[in-house]
Amino acid sequence: MSSLPTSTPAAQGVDAAGVQAFLDALESDPGIEPHSLMLLRHGQVVASGWWAPYAVERPQLLYSLSKSFTATAAGFAVAEGLIRLDDPVISYFPEFDADVTDPRSRAMLVRHVASMASGHLEETLDRARAQDPGELVRGFLLVPPERDPGTVFAYNQPATYTLGAIVQRVTGRKLTEYLRPRLFDPLGIGQVGWIHDRRGRELGFSGLHATTDAIARLGLLYLRGGMWEGERLLPESWVAEATRVQISPGAPAEGGWTDWQQGYGFQFWMSRHGYRGDGAYGQFCVVLPEQDAVLAITSETVDMQRVLELAWVHLLPAFAAGPLPGHEAADAALADRLTHLALPPADGKADPAGRAEEGETCFAPHGGSCTDQPTLTAVEVGPGGRVTLVDDGDRLELGLGAGEAGWTVVDEPVPVAVSGGWTDEETLAVDVAFLETPHHLLVTCSLADRTFTARWRTQPLHAGPLRRMRAPRSA
């Protein structure tokens, strides 16, 4: 994989002080845990950093930012004549023709599912699964839209799933397989993985794992109108249609127009500045055509609007019309900071006095079951900071206090970073960061009753045993 070209911020007309202020704001906000950041201007990387224990080479779960990659696959299929936006969705699934009788469902076009304009008034995922647990497309089409397709917006996972299913059907390939020679290889994107369902279909609406670098490259492709290194990959017409308002979300929320109410394209959100793909808990690909810039971010937060607000406040004023001479010291200070980014570890001792010689202690779930992670059945603690999570029959062995900056990284069977330890002689508190996702599992063991509690700091949207908290190794 070739590296993207790099430059100093000042050479590309970016004031390093604005980037520093953005970093300050991210790090000081208690509701945001930044994991990575890449800022590109005029096609050059002017700032990039990963907060240890997160690292440049690790893929991240992108959640709904996956949708923008699904749209890109659809764009290729349209360009190749495999899909037509004005075809009825049902025409791609003739086996459901007799079952789908609602006239609005039958009138739903490919462009409607691409733009979240299926005619439904709200999310249909649970209802579609109830209609057909084994075939989400059929279940979706059996949920009658309340309005005519194309007239209302509703953020709707089965709409994107259906778009991805159409691409996979007409190409005979999984999304990752279809995108590999058309997108991933030309852009220099390395290994990716996409969660699939029981039918073997990649989800489309979520589940893609890719690096921050891959996010930045996708944004740069769209910023350039579908061109990459002098070669046209995506039709300019597709990029233009995907990144303009196809449907309006409706009336603004109380307090004004947020970045989720500016309009929706083909699996891209319009923003108050530019447009973006985004995913739950703070995964962003922000494209700023007026500034000729791309911002890629991975993080853990429930306040995604706040991240965008900070970018508008601190980064937008940092863009100048031309180079900024005399900013060498500021550029050097930013570069140094970006190489030393790190998250603070949880407090605790690996082996407090009086416990080093004790044998292994097994802790059972407090109250008889772990409600946040039902498959977690036991925590075993031994001398030397050894902690083992027993989850769905798997044993995830962790260590404490041996790693750089207070984090211990374990790559198998699941990539995690661990911090924390004994906060007193009776209490062990461990922070387990699942490094290929945004999520942390906080485990607390009590010697008094030999029980543990475990809670997710942010709840994973793809439930299952802990062994699934990693990128699929598929493409």
* Structural domains of the chain in order of their starting residue, each with its CATH number: 10-79+166-338 (3.40.710.10), 361-468 (no CATH)
| Predicted local confidence at residue 257, as pLDDT | 62
Measured distance CA(15)–CA(19) in Å, rounded: 7
CA distances in angstroms from 347 to 259, 383, 406, listed in the order given: 37, 18, 9
Measured distance CA(233)–CA(44) in Å, rounded: 20
* pTM for this predicted structure: 0.96
| Predicted local confidence at residue 401, as pLDDT | 65
Give the three-state DSSP class for 399.
strand
Which residue ranges in the chain fall short of pLDDT 70? Answer: 1, 251-257, 352-359, 401-405, 474-475
Measured distance CA(70)–CA(3) in Å, rounded: 24
| Predicted local confidence at residue 360, as pLDDT | 76
Q: What is the largest CA-CA distance in the chain?
A: 73
Q: Where are the alpha helices (DSSP H) in 192-291?
A: 212-223, 236-242
